Amino acid sequence: MIIAVIMAGGLSTRLKRNTEKTLFKFNNSPLIDYVTSNLESSQYIDSIVAAVSPNTPNTKEYLISNKFLKFDDSILADSNYYIETPGNGYLEDLSYLLELFEKISTENTLVIINADLPFINNNIIDDIIRQYFKINTEALSVQIPVEVYKKYNISFEFEYKGLVPVGLNILKSVNTIQDQYELIREDMELAINLNSLEDVDLAYKLLEDLK
Ligand SMILES: Nc1nc2c(ncn2[C@@H]2O[C@H](COP(=O)(O)OP(=O)(O)OP(=O)(O)O)[C@@H](O)[C@H]2O)c(=O)[nH]1
Ligand SMILES: [Mg+2]
């Protein structure tokens, strides 16, 4: 199975708003809805699991009201689940998730994605999944040249050798160090992640430009 995992348990510190970033409304929709609906339109993704945490209680309630089921120890195709991770940090919670998925099966593929990518679309997601299976490594990390961020004035958290990881990774469902291929793409749709209110302003401008 190909399972999408939406990381949705962060602290939303940089947004400086009294709201969980996942529920922050951009262009009238909560951020998490963009990622969810594009994952639902993917031709490869079988199910979606949103990883909430004690930092995001309202996101959990929101997902429950949107018919996300509580994840236990099995997973059915065409279903959406939420799972409660400890909320100790992205990497810590990712490792927690890998351990949990490993217990279910070591044969699943996990598409780990951030919840703050309002410009993402299902064609990009499917294109990346196709490339992952073509390359045939255990893990894939999507990276965008820093020039793309600079061109659009988009903020980024981390740069290494001129590349910025976008928060879209594909992994096997095993909690071990996995051989990783770095997939370099130039889509501004993947680069636009909303961290601060400045990013939100910029995203509205880009939305106008795209019209
Ligand atoms: N489950 C889980 N998700 C996380 C955690 N940290 C970040 N995320 C999610 O990962 C995605 C990318 O994280 P960030 O953009 O840094 O969001 P954030 O951590 O809420 O915001 P900042 O506090 O400003 O860093 C977001 O969708 C977060 O909700 C965590 O510890 N656990
Ligand atoms: Mg963070």
Q: Report residue 117: phi and psi, to 5°.
A: -120, 75
Cβ-count burial 178-191 (b if 16+ within 10 Å, e if not): beeeebebebebbb
Task: Confirm whether 198 is domain-assigned.
Answer: no
Ligand 1 mean position to 195 CA, how many Å?
A: 10
Residue nearest to atom 21 of ligand 1 (CA): 12
Ligand 1 mean position to 21 CA, how many Å?
A: 8
Q: What is the pLDDT of residue 16?
A: 87
The pLDDT averaged over each successive group of 10 residues in the chain (211 residues) is: 98 92 97 98 98 98 97 89 97 97 96 97 98 96 96 91 96 96 96 94 92 77
pLDDT per position as a tens digit, 74-113: 888 889 999 999 999 999 999 999 999 999 999 999 999 9
Q: How many residues does the chain have?
A: 211
Residue with tokens 């079988």: 46
Q: What is the pLDDT of residue 151?
A: 93
Task: Confirm whether 173 is domain-assigned.
Answer: yes
Quick one: which of 130, 91, 137 has its CA closest to 112? 91
Q: What is the pLDDT of residue 134?
A: 97
Chain centroid offset of residue 155 CA: 17
Two tokens, residue 103 = 């217990």
Between the alpha carbon of residue 82 and those of residues 34, 85, 87, 151, the distances in Å are: 16, 10, 14, 36
Q: Does any ligand 1 atom lie closer than 6 A to the CB of residue 116? A: yes
> What is the number of structural domains in the chain?
1
Task: Confirm whether 63 is domain-assigned.
Answer: yes
Atom of ligand 1 nearest to the CA of 14: 24
The structure's pTM equals 0.97
Q: Does any ligand 1 atom lie closer than 6 A to the CB of residue 197? A: no
Nearest ligand (C-alpha, residue 89): 1
Q: What is the pLDDT of residue 72?
A: 87
Ligand 2 mean position to 11 CA, how many Å?
A: 7
Q: Does any ligand 1 atom lie closer than 6 A to the CB of residue 199? A: no
Residue-range definition of the domain harbouring residue 139: 2-143+167-186
Nearest ligand (C-alpha, residue 53): 1
The enclosing domain of 27 has a CATH number of: 3.90.550.10
Q: Does any ligand 1 atom lie closer than 6 A to the CB of residue 33? A: no
Between CA 120 and CA 125 the distance in angstroms is 8
Q: Does any ligand 1 atom lie closer than 6 A to the CB of residue 51? A: yes
Q: Does any ligand 1 atom lie closer than 6 A to the CB of residue 32? A: no
The share of the chain scoring above pLDDT 90, in percent, equals: 91
